[in-house]
Structure 1
Amino acid sequence: PFSVFAPYSTSTRYRIDHQPWTDFLSRAVYTVGRSDRKPARRPGESYRNAGTRLSTGSSSRYRFEGNRIMFHTFNDEVETYVGLYRQGLQDTMNRVDYGDFSRDEQLAFWLNLYNAVVIHEIAKAHPVSRPSRIRIRDQNARLFDAKLVEVHGVKLSLNDIRYNIVYRYWRTSDVIYGLWSGEIGGTGIMPSAFEGTTVRSQLRLNGREFVNSLRGVDRIRGKMRISQLYVDARPYYFQNWPDDLYAHLSRYADWTTAQIIALRPENPKPSRYDLSTADVESGETVRSSANDNAAAVAAGADLGERWSKLSDTGMRGGLSGEALALARRSEARLERRRGSVVILDVKTDDPDAPQAQTLSVEPDEKTADEEGQP
C-alpha cells in the first residue's frame, strides 16, 4: 500500500505553506547550539547549584546536546494548535492528488507530519521520561507502532513513515536528519519547518550538527562509536558497510570528527543510544522546588520567555534542575563561540579608485583551539 507514496512526480502545481509550523517551532524550540564535544559530567554534579541532586531523567554523556522542545510551557491551547496543524496537513494532502506535489514538497510534507505527530503525542503525555514508553491505549500499541495518521486512505504509523516511505523512496541518506524522534540520542529538532524549496539545505545543516556531535560520532576509550541511527538505516543507505557510512560521515565531518573517522574500524559499534525525552528537562519527571527555582531564576529565565509571545499561561510548574543545567551549558557554549569583527582599510595604487572597506570575521582563538581548527 505504500507504493502510492513513491516520489515519482516533478509537478510543481501545488505547494504547502508550512509557515504556521515555523511560527510554532521558532518559539517552542530551545536552541542548544552546536556540540562542543564535551561529555556531560556524571549524574548529580549538574544539580549542585540548582538546589537538588534528584534526577529521574537522562544520565548519559550526551544529555546536553541537541535542540529541545519546551514541553514544560505547553498548555491546552498549545496542544490544540499542534493538533490542528497535524490534522491540517493530512486534510491538505487528502484533498489533492499526491502527484501534484514535487518530490521535495512531498518530502517536506512527510518530515513535518512525522515531527508534528511526535511533538503532539509527547505533549499530551508530558511529563514522560521516554517517548517509546507512550502507549496509545485504543490500539494497545507503542507510540512509534500505532496507526496515528491516515493519508489517501492508508493508515500509517510513525515507523511506516520512516522506513516504508521516507527511507524506502528517497535515496539520499540526508533524510535521516529530518525525522525527530523526541529522544536525546536522535537528531535535533530545527527551529523552523521544512519547506519544499529549502528541505535539502535544511537536512544538510541538521546533518552537520549531528555528525559533529557526540551523539553522531564519538570516541570512547580510544575506539570509534557511531549513532544507532546509522545502524538502523544501514539496509537503506549503507549496503556497502562500512565504506558507504564513512563516505557519508566524511561529507559533514569537521577537523576533530574527521580524526575519529580516520580510525575506520571494520565493524563500527553503536554507542549507547539515549532514549530520554528531548525536552529541556532531559526526560526528568521530578520537579525541583519553588525555592530551588527562585535561587537559579537568572540562569533559566530565558526558557519561559521564549514561549511567552504565544502563551503567557502555559507554565505547568517550575524548571527542573536538569533544565537549569542545560541552560547554563548552552549559554557557556554560546559565549565561547562568540568571535570578533575587524574592519580593515583596503588601499590601491590607482589614485582614481574609491577607498573601500572590508569586513573580516576572526574566530575566537580559544574556540578554534578547542575544536582542533588551524
Structure 2
Amino acid sequence: MRATCNFFFIMSFLLLPAIVFAAPKAELWQRWQTNDPQSRTHIDHAVWANFLDQYLVVGTAESTNLVRYAEVKPDDKSALTQYIASLTALPISRLNRAEQKALWVNLYNSLTVLTILEHYPIKSIRKISSGWFSSGPWDLKLIKVEGIELSLNDIEHRILRPIWQDNRVHYAVNCASLGCPNLQAEPFTAANMERLLDKAAQDYINSLRGVNFTEETLQLSSIYDWFLVDFGGSKEALFSHLEQFATPVLASKLKTYRGTISYQYNWDLNEQRSSF
C-alpha cells in the first residue's frame, strides 16, 4: 500500500509541469452570452485611465510597457479597488456587446494589476498560487458579478475568447509579465476597440517578444503555441495572421520561411523599478 502511494506521488510530481503549463481551452459559459443590443449605456473607465497615466511607463517598439508597482500610493490602490467593484456591480447582461467586451478586458487587466499589488513585492505573477498543482492566480475566484464568482481564467477563456472569437483578445489581456503583449496606455472602450486591438497586435508581432528571427531559427511567443487553435490551428494560418499585422520587411521574411520554429516566454514581472 505504501509503495502504491509513493508511486502515485512520484507520478503526480512528474506530471506537474504538464498540468502547470497546459493552456485552458475556450469553453463557452452560456450564462454570459446575454446582452441588450438596444442598450445605450456607456461605462466610465476614467479611474483606470488615470491609474495608467500615473503608473504605466510606455516602452519603445522593442520593450514592454512597465508598471511602477512600488510607487502606487494607497489612495490610488483604493481607487483601483473601487473601480473594479463598480464594474462588478454593473448589470453586465443588460449592456450591448461592444460595451461588454471593453468592460471584460478592462476588468481583467485592472484586476491583474490589483492582484500584483496585493502580493507585492513579487518577482513573477506565477508565484501567486491558486491551489495544488497551480502556478499563478488565474483560477482564484477574485470577484463576484451578478451574484456569480469569477476568476481571471473565467473572464478570458469562458467569456472573452468563446463569445467574441477574436484572436486579438490575446493582445488585449495582460498577464503582468515581460513576455506578455503590452498593457495598453488607455482603457479599451466600445469606440476605440478596433483601433486598440489592431495596435496591440501590431506592437506585439513586430517586437522581439512576438516574432524574432535569430541566426538559427524563428522564435515565436509561446502564446502562438498555447493558443494555436485561436490563430487558425495550423502553421499556415498562424503565419497568415502574423503577416497581416507585420511590417512589410517582417511579413516578407515570414512568407518565405521554411525552417525550425521555437517558442519562448518571459514570466518575470512587468515592473519599472525605481532608479533611487
Is the structural similarity TM-score above 0.5? yes
Cα displacement (A) at 1:194: 0.7
With over 3 angstroms needed to count, the CA separation of the structure-2 counterparts of 1:171 and 1:267, relative to structure 1, is farther
2:194 is aligned with 1:167: no
With over 3 angstroms needed to count, the CA separation of the structure-2 counterparts of 1:127 and 1:168, relative to structure 1, is same
Q: How does 1:155-304 map to 2 (within 5 A)?
A: 155-239=149-233, 241-265=234-258, 268-270=261-263, 272-281=264-273
Contact 1:242 / 1:267 at 8 angstroms: preserved in 2? no
Show structure 1 runs of 4+ deviating over 3 A: 263-268
Contact 2:243 / 2:255 at 8 angstroms: preserved in 1? no
Q: How does 1:110-129 map to 2 (within 5 A)?
A: 110-129=104-123
User: Which amino acid in the other structure matches residue 44 of structure 2?
Assistant: D
User: Which amino acid in the other structure matches residue 280 of structure 1?
Assistant: Q
Cα displacement (A) at 1:128: 0.8
2:2 is aligned with 1:4: no
2:19 is aligned with 1:21: no
User: Which amino acid in the other structure matches residue 84 of structure 1?
Assistant: Q
Out of 72, 78, 82, the position equivalent to 1:74 is 72
Q: Following the alignment from structure 1 to structure 2, what is the Cα–Cα distance between the partners of residues 245 and 76?
A: 43
With over 3 angstroms needed to count, the CA separation of the structure-2 counterparts of 1:225 and 1:104, relative to structure 1, is same
With over 3 angstroms needed to count, the CA separation of the structure-2 counterparts of 1:70 and 1:97, relative to structure 1, is closer
Q: Following the alignment from structure 2 to structure 1, what is the Cα–Cα distance between the partners of residues 119 and 92?
A: 34
Q: Structure 1 unaligned segments of length 5 or more: list them.
A: 36-64, 282-317, 321-374
Question: TM-score by structure 2 length?
Answer: 0.82
Contact 1:7 / 1:106 at 8 angstroms: preserved in 2? no
User: Which amino acid in the other structure matches residue 130 of structure 1?
Assistant: S
Q: Following the alignment from structure 2 to structure 1, what is the Cα–Cα distance between the partners of residues 195 and 68?
A: 25
Q: Following the alignment from structure 1 to structure 2, what is the Cα–Cα distance between the partners of residues 243 and 234?
A: 11
For residues 118-172 of structure 1, the C-alpha deviation after alignment (integer angstroms, 9 at most, x for no partner) is 10011122221101112368xx984112111221222221112111111111122
Cα displacement (A) at 1:213: 0.1
User: Which amino acid in the other structure matches residue 257 of structure 1?
Assistant: L
Aligned to 1:343: none
Contact 1:125 / 1:134 at 8 angstroms: preserved in 2? yes
User: Which amino acid in the other structure matches residue 262 of structure 1?
Assistant: K
Aligned to 2:17: none
Q: Following the alignment from structure 1 to structure 2, what is the Cα–Cα distance between the partners of residues 245 and 24?
A: 34
Contact 1:224 / 1:265 at 8 angstroms: preserved in 2? no
- Matched-pair identity in %: 22
Cα displacement (A) at 1:72: 1.9
Contact 1:79 / 1:124 at 8 angstroms: preserved in 2? no
Q: Following the alignment from structure 2 to structure 1, what is the Cα–Cα distance between the partners of residues 224 and 175?
A: 14
Contact 1:172 / 1:237 at 8 angstroms: preserved in 2? no
Q: Following the alignment from structure 1 to structure 2, what is the Cα–Cα distance between the partners of residues 6 and 181?
A: 24
Cα displacement (A) at 1:10: 2.6
Cα displacement (A) at 1:112: 0.3
For the pair shown, which has the larger CA radius of gyration, 1 or 2? 1
With over 3 angstroms needed to count, the CA separation of the structure-2 counterparts of 1:7 and 1:228, relative to structure 1, is farther
Say which is worse superposed, 224-233 or 186-195, in terms of deviation: 224-233
Contact 2:218 / 2:262 at 8 angstroms: preserved in 1? yes
SS of equivalent to 1:135: coil
Aligned to 2:86: 88
With over 3 angstroms needed to count, the CA separation of the structure-2 counterparts of 1:11 and 1:229, relative to structure 1, is farther
Q: Following the alignment from structure 2 to structure 1, what is the Cα–Cα distance between the partners of residues 200 and 145?
A: 27
Cα displacement (A) at 1:266: 7.5
Q: Following the alignment from structure 1 to structure 2, what is the Cα–Cα distance between the partners of residues 135 and 75?
A: 25
